[in-house]
Structure 1
């Protein structure tokens, strides 16, 4: 890992699971600071579980999640929410809430007895909605929106939080291809232009390989490989992680690894 980008956020030998069902054990992961990290892996391999632990929504049964060398459990809730923002896999909005009001909830961690709603909050909300293309929806009830529109509103709320670390669990869900690319371009610009650390769980491998500075490949609750996509992505890695036979070629637009599934994969399904 590049020493100029040490890991502010990391999991140290954690055991993660639900109701006695262990998903990961002795799992250690470093999230390099000021990088765009993408986590990939098959369904139920522990990607979302790891993200929930990094955001303190799930307490490890053993081991520790650390932020700036301090256990995340030691931070007051509002302080942690000013440092780490999370878009979970699924979210439910209160009945009847308008888009602008939901996005404004991202500013809650910044409110105190001495600091109430301010012009800075208004500007943060407006900028977040503009970045995700939902400004024109600001007065609409969230429940009346399509799945893709709602997803962009939830992303707006996380952006309005203005945290230096952003965790996104399958952020491209429900989005059509144009908005998927727009969102991933936005994530990259947040990383490169404002130095934010962005972590996303993605299912589309070619999106992951094109956008990630740092890639974490998981299977069965463990990390199979991590590093820059150009250095670690091989046909053998894709086969090991996803049981998919493929060719890896250079993306003609970016030169990043591009997955071409072999035709025999489709033949075996029929």
Structure 2
């Protein structure tokens, strides 16, 4: 049984419908990446899967039960979310914010423990923010804050982790670091990851399962090599391109068609 899925969903904000009759299944143990043009419903789908947005019709199932019928703490122990943009409380330090990822594991009978401390420290180390532990979050750069929020999501230690544009604000080196970390969580720890990414080549390199969306619908889903074709890219994004093998990984590499420059004429045309 797939642990996370959505069936027959209508997703809307007030009366503005984003998607209708949308169904998706997240393969267990996969690194699923959702791609598509702006305003196609990628982040809206992720919000629905994460319980932040209740479908107007249809159902999101987590472990075979409607995610909205389950207690918040139960869901938070199973499913973590890194939202697209987050606001930290004023004056909170990095270590304090990351520690909030452990809240679902606390109860009247279980208080803060050495295990919680270890998880928080490891989460900060793995995201490269351990040296910022005592800094206020509001003093950090956008890229540093993004890594702190990722550390908090990791500290939650959920088997399912949803990430909405996790490379936002990061330069290319830190984008690769974060995606390498995500791949490690998937490969070594067996976590199921679902991420929204804009960069098609990053999506192809890291995903084990791709969902391509267009206008609130799933245009195609499956293995990156099956989904990311030149025809699909032009159909979904309106981008003429070639798709070749990435020389480093062998995964699909999208090469946009060159723009024809004004005045570029052939020799015959000039004669």
Q: Tell me the TM-score range normalised by the shorter chain.
A: over 0.9
CA displacement at 1:26 relative to structure 2: 0.4
In structure 1, distance between residues paired with 2:260 and 2:188: 40
SS of match in other structure, 2:213: strand
Matched, 1:168 2:168: no
In structure 2, distance between residues paired with 1:105 and 1:196: 20
Q: Match of 1:31? A: 26
In structure 2, distance between residues paired with 1:117 and 1:76: 21
Map 1:142-181; keep pairs closer than 5 Å: 142-181=137-176
Matched, 1:55 2:50: yes
SS of match in other structure, 1:244: coil
Q: Match of 1:213? A: 208
Asked if structure 1 preserves the Cα contact closer than 8 Å seen for 2:201 and 2:253, the reply is yes
SS of match in other structure, 1:115: coil
Map 1:1-20; keep pairs closer than 5 Å: 6-20=1-15
Asked if structure 1 preserves the Cα contact closer than 8 Å seen for 2:212 and 2:227, the reply is no
User: How has the CA–CA distance of structure 1 residues 264 and 210 changed in structure 2, closer, same or farther, with 3 Å as cutoff?
Assistant: same
CA displacement at 1:266 relative to structure 2: 8.1
Instruction: Point out where structure 1 has 5 or more consecutive residues left out of the alignment.
Output: 1-5
Asked if structure 2 preserves the Cα contact closer than 8 Å seen for 1:42 and 1:219, the reply is yes
CA displacement at 1:112 relative to structure 2: 0.4
State the Cα deviation string for residues 31-67 of structure 1 (Å, max 9, x = none).
0111100000011100000000001000000000001
CA displacement at 1:68 relative to structure 2: 1.0
Q: Match of 1:3? A: none
Aligned residues: 262
Matched, 1:134 2:129: yes
CA displacement at 1:264 relative to structure 2: 2.8
Report the RMSD for the aligned CA atoms in angstroms: 1.0
Q: Match of 2:76? A: 81
**Largest Rg, 1 or 2:** 2
Map 1:186-197; keep pairs closer than 5 Å: 186-197=181-192
In structure 1, distance between residues paired with 2:261 and 2:200: 18
SS of match in other structure, 2:186: helix
Asked if structure 2 preserves the Cα contact closer than 8 Å seen for 1:13 and 1:64, the reply is yes
Q: Match of 1:64? A: 59
Matched, 1:260 2:255: yes
State the Cα deviation string for residues 89-133 of structure 1 (Å, max 9, x = none).
110000000000000000000000000000110011001100100
State the Cα deviation string for residues 169-198 of structure 1 (Å, max 9, x = none).
000000111111111111111011011000
State the Cα deviation string for residues 246-270 of structure 1 (Å, max 9, x = none).
0000000000000000013887xxx
In structure 1, distance between residues paired with 2:214 and 2:115: 43
State the Cα deviation string for residues 189-225 of structure 1 (Å, max 9, x = none).
1011011000100001000000000000001000000
Instruction: Point out where structure 2 has 5 or more consecutive residues left out of the alignment.
Output: 263-271
